[in-house]
A and B are shown apart, each in its own frame.
Chain A
Amino acid sequence: MTAHTVGVAFDPTRTWRLHPQVAVRPEPFGALLYHFGTRKLSFLKNRTILAVVESLDEHPTVASALAAAGVGHDQEAPYLHALSVLVASNMLVRKETP
């Protein structure tokens, strides 16, 4: 169970979006993500990170998506970490290069 590491660095000043081959299923604890390309499963461990992930492509930067979901500056770190993990496994891609 290794993440597919691709050569894309997570730059929170850009706009990100879910990979078009990723399906999202909300669950009581958060959500399940499944990537039909890599056949990998991921977990979002609360509903806030789900809201962030689903709204990323509506925001010019990750910071504005976090703010819109109610995540304060002092609470950003775990969310940025979670998003970087999703980028490393190709669940999230840059909006302009799908």
Chain B
Amino acid sequence: MISIAPVPRLVEQFERGLDAPICLTWELTYACNLACVHCLSSSGKRDPRELSTAQCKAVIDELERMGVFYVNIGGGEPTIRPDFWELVDYATEHHVGVKFSTNGVRITPEVADRLAASDYVDVQISLDGATAEVNDAVRGSGSFAMAIRALENLANAGFADAKISVVVTRHNVGQLDDFKTLADHYGATLRITRLRPSGRGADVWDELHPTADQQVQLYDWLVAKGERVLTGDSFFHLAGLGAPGALAGLNMCGAGRVVCLIDPVGDVYACPFAIHDRFLAGNILSDSVNGFGGFDNVWKHSALFTELRQPQSAGACGSCGHYDACRGGCMAAKFFTGLPLDGPDPECVEGYGAPALAAVRDKPRPGADHSRGKPVMLTLQRPPAKPCNESPV
């Protein structure tokens, strides 16, 4: 035997796809008690075709057979499904770990006790401002207090290592240290991710996404202090700002290769930020064979995922020295801002996205809108002044 053949980099292996996703996102419901201005799934009202409890359990059975290690459950607000805890228990009993995202509405002291007793459930509390002023402008009145109450309940129950999940915006990028302090206070871990122009986020992205200077500020913060901070590898479009490897993580687009999304009605999309027909790979019900194996079938054989696992054209980015670092950035960010998929990311660190954003764009509409009436209206026009800016004494 056995000389060890040169192994292609993991990124290249992963770009060709895996036999099953490493993890996947599963939006259990489009119903939500909040109406966040940037909701990537345009959630609000329940879809009447939502998967039943039995259908959800069949999905979990299939994930177990495929060896999916864990699911990121979201929504909507997943905990308002009456069978939510039943499904969480069913998943962990079947060796599928659960990380779920919540605004905290149902994290009562009793629920917190229950969660603290499980080794296989992670909880992510969404918070988009380190102060009520900044958070509630995006997530709605009272949502900061609700999230903090959930964190307190988890901490009091002895739940170790909850996650505080922050979408980085123009208004909260200056609060990263404050978020970290907040996380430390509750024995939690900070998780920050990129604002995508998906769902209702398309309507506010121009006003909310961090400016070019703020992108640099964010990158520098991640390199300096990011070691204990989770990012879901979502800032790979910034990788070109520094030395290769300075930004922790795989730093590639995993859509349809190592991740995907199952939505509440069983539609499978390439990633959680791409709920649109262009990125719809199939449906776990209609693509099943004799009522069996729908997700496996979509993951392994759908035309879309097969296409995404082929070598992608660098297109207009081919001559850029950073292409190897950012791989052209985020597909969904390009798509929903109306930019070509084989060109620069709208937040390209070289600034190549800016002229494209300034031109006339034809922005695709999100696939579906589940909003209840009007979402939260953006009221903050600029980041709030810190107290010390107003009162230097």
Contact = CB atoms under 8 A, between A and B. Distances in A.
B is a partner of A: yes
Interface of A: 1-2, 21, 23, 25-29, 32, 34, 36-37, 39, 41, 43, 45-46, 48, 70-72, 75, 78
Question: Which of A21, A41, A70 has the most CB atoms of chain B within a 10 A radius of its CB?
Answer: A41
A66 to B, nearest CB: 10
Interface residues of B, number: 24
Interface in B225-255: 227, 248-249
B119 A29 contact: no
B364 interface: no
Given A1-B248, A2-B227, A27-B19, A36 B2 contact: no
Interface in B75-103: 95, 97
Q: Tell me the dominant secondary structure on chain B's binding face.
A: loop
A10 to B, nearest CB: 20
B55 interface: no
B13 interface: yes
- Which 4 A-B pairs give the minimum distances between C-beta atoms? A34-B69, A25-B67, A1-B248, A70-B1
B122 interface: yes
A29 B13 CA distance: 7
Contacts of A28: 13, 19
A23 B69 contact: yes
A23 B95 contact: yes
B119 A23 contact: no
25 contacts: A23-B67, A23-B69, A25-B19, A25-B20, A25-B69, A27-B19, A28-B13, A29-B7, A29-B8, A29-B10, A34-B69, A34-B97, A36-B120, A37-B119, A39-B97, A39-B122, A46-B5, A48-B2, A70-B1, A72-B1, A72-B2, A75-B1, A75-B3, A75-B4, A78-B4
Contacts of A26: 19
Contacts of A21: 119
Contacts of A45: 7, 10
Nearest to A2: B227
A43 B10 contact: yes
A78 to B, nearest CB: 6
A22 B152 CA distance: 31
B119 A71 contact: no
A2 B19 CA distance: 26
A75 to B, nearest CB: 6
Contacts of A41: 22, 69
B41 to A, nearest CB: 25
A64 B4 CA distance: 19
A32 B13 CA distance: 12
B157 interface: no
Interface string B244-286: 0000110000000000000000000000000000000000000
B119 A27 contact: no
B4 A46 contact: yes
A2 B226 CA distance: 11
Nearest to B226: A1
Contacts of A32: 18, 22, 69
A29 B95 CA distance: 23
Contact of B1 (A27, A39, A71): A71
Contacts of B10: 29, 43, 45
Interface string B162-185: 000000000000000000000000
Given A1-B249, A36-B69, 8 more contacts: A1-B248, A21-B119, A25-B67, A29-B7, A29-B10, A36-B120, A46-B4, A46-B5
